[in-house]
Structure 1
Amino acid sequence: MSFPVIWTVLIDIVAWAFFHVIISVFCLNLPRAFFLKDSVWFKIFVWEKSGELWQRLFLVKKWKERLIDGTLILKKGYGKKKLHGTSISDLKVFAAETKRAELTHWLSIVPAPLFFIWNPLWAGWVMVLYAWMFNLPFIIVQRYNRGRIDAITLRTNKTGVG
């Protein structure tokens, strides 16, 4: 199937907006309890060094504040630009919300192959590249933040302070 370039670009923009909103709303409606549980899907691995790997490889601290928090756009959800408190329960909620954001961004990559249906082959690959390039920074920041929070809560649980 082939459309004029302007129509293809407009369809791509509308399709991405649709997918981003639908996936975000879906994830926002998942209960927080789902994200409070320890799950293999969101495990911070030893090789991530409590998130420091992401700082070393990508200098996350220098650019993470420039990313847009989706809660500002949707006017719903848990803002992750700053901590909402420093108690263990506050940190666990923040970590749970990083899992929600990470899941949202992983799922936002999934629709990319659909763009091959109406795009020329080269543009389909551009859409796949867009999906990865747009979402990976958000995924990296969530894993970086959660790794740091997990290290703090683990230390606090071991020492009994907090």
Structure 2
Amino acid sequence: MPIVSLPVIWIIFIDIIAWTFFHLFISAICMRLPLAFFLKDRLLFQVFSWEKSGELWQRLFRVKTWKGFLIDGTIFLKKGYSKKGLHGTRLNDLKIFAAETKRAELTHWLSILPAPLFFLWNPLWAGWVMILYAFLFNLPIIIVQRYNRGRIAAITA
């Protein structure tokens, strides 16, 4: 049972505004993190051997067939590093691209976290829909980042 009882139209409006706020706020915070933070090897962003340099994601989800349809979030913030394509083929270019995949992955993991807050004003079933939305919206992007980073790691190793 929600803490606040509102008409359905207001709940839908608040859900849209809240998700927009959370996505943009989290993105803005992650954009402010220095590139050096993402250039370091951290456990969270490690490409694991079981990922087979990203090929696991291709085999399980056929990433190559749909990743081009994803919208790069940099178009909304009008700044950032577009990951639609490589910005060069030198080793440094590849390292920066890999670092930016880490930034994007962190952004989308963090974007899942606000989902439980939606239980505060949504009916129980709609709260679960918001949880489902958070995962369905963010996990494909996380998978693409891990796929791309695995491929880059195989090249730069």
Q: Does 1:117 align with 2:120?
A: yes
Counterpart AA for 2:124:
L
2: distance between equivalents of 1:17 and 1:105?
Answer: 13
Q: Aligned residue for 2:44?
A: 41
Q: Aligned residue for 1:128?
A: 131
Task: Give 1:97 deviation, angstroms.
Answer: 0.1
1: distance between equivalents of 2:138 and 2:129?
Answer: 14
RMSD over equivalenced CA pairs, Å: 0.4
Displacement over 4 Å in runs of 4+: none
Secondary structure of 2:37's match? Answer: helix
Q: Does 1:77 align with 2:80?
A: yes
1: distance between equivalents of 2:62 and 2:143?
Answer: 11
Task: Give 1:73 deviation, angstroms.
Answer: 1.3
Q: Aligned residue for 1:147?
A: 150
Task: Give 1:138 deviation, angstroms.
Answer: 0.2
Aligned identity (percent) is 74
2: distance between equivalents of 1:2 and 1:134?
Answer: 27
Q: Aligned residue for 2:30?
A: 27
Secondary structure of 2:89's match? Answer: coil
2: distance between equivalents of 1:121 and 1:2?
Answer: 12
> What is the total number of aligned residue pairs between the two structures?
154
TM-score, scaled relative to structure 1: 0.95
Task: Give 1:25 deviation, angstroms.
Answer: 0.1
Task: Give 1:111 deviation, angstroms.
Answer: 0.1
Q: Aligned residue for 1:160?
A: none
Q: Aligned residue for 1:67?
A: 70
Task: Give 1:2 deviation, angstroms.
Answer: 1.3
Please list every run of 5 or more consecutive structure 1 residues that lacks an aligned counterpart in the other structure. Answer: 155-162
Counterpart AA for 2:149:
R
1: distance between equivalents of 2:49 and 2:153?
Answer: 12
1: distance between equivalents of 2:58 and 2:91?
Answer: 24
2: distance between equivalents of 1:132 and 1:44?
Answer: 21
> Per-residue displacement from partner, 1:33-79 (whole Å, max 9, x unpaired)?
00000000100111000000000000000000000000011111000
Q: Does 1:56 align with 2:59?
A: yes
Please list every run of 5 or more consecutive structure 2 residues that lacks an aligned counterpart in the other structure. Answer: none
